Chains A and B, each alone.
Chain A
Amino acid sequence: SQQGEEDPQALSIQEGENATMNCSYKTSINNLQWYRQNSGRGLVHLILIRSNEREKHSGRLRVTLDTSKKSSSLLITASRAADTASYFCATDASTGANSKLTFGKGITLSVRP
Chain B
Amino acid sequence: NAGVTQTPKFQVLKTGQSMTLQCAQDMNHEYMSWYRQDPGMGLRLIHYSVGAGITDQGEVPNGYNVSRSTTEDFPLRLLSAAPSQTSVYFCASSWTGWNAPLHFGNGTRLTVT
Q: Which of A's residues lie within 8 Å of B, judged by CB?
A: 2, 30-31, 33, 35, 40-45, 48, 50, 88, 90, 92, 94, 99-106
Contact B98 A30 (CB under 8 A): yes
Contacts of A43 in B (CB 8 A): 43, 90, 92, 102, 104
Instruction: Determine how close the nearest CB of chain B comes to the CB of A50; give it in whole angstroms.
Output: 8
CB < 8 Å: which of B4, B45, B90, B103 contacts A100? B45
Contact A99 B56 (CB under 8 A): yes
Q: Is B12 an interface residue (CB 8 A)?
A: no
Question: What size tier do the contact residues of chain B reach?
Answer: 20 to 34
Contacts of A99 in B (CB 8 A): 48, 56, 97-98
CA distance A50 to B99 in the complex (A): 8
Nearest A residue to B38 via CB reads A105
Main secondary structure of the interface of A (DSSP, over half): strand
Q: Is B100 an interface residue (CB 8 A)?
A: yes
Nearest A residue to B41 via CB reads A105
Pairs across A and B, CB under 8 Å, 12 listed = A30-B98, A33-B102, A40-B107, A41-B106, A45-B102, A48-B99, A48-B101, A99-B48, A100-B59, A100-B98, A103-B42, A105-B42
CB < 8 Å: which of A2, A42, A92, A105 contacts B106? A42
With A35-B102, A100-B48, A101-B45 given, name 17 new contacts (CB 8 A).
A30-B99, A40-B107, A41-B106, A41-B107, A42-B4, A42-B104, A42-B105, A43-B102, A43-B104, A45-B103, A48-B99, A48-B101, A92-B98, A99-B56, A100-B45, A103-B44, A106-B42
CB < 8 Å: which of A35, A45, A101, A106 contacts B98? A101
CA distance A48 to B6 in the complex (A): 24
CA distance A106 to B39 in the complex (A): 10
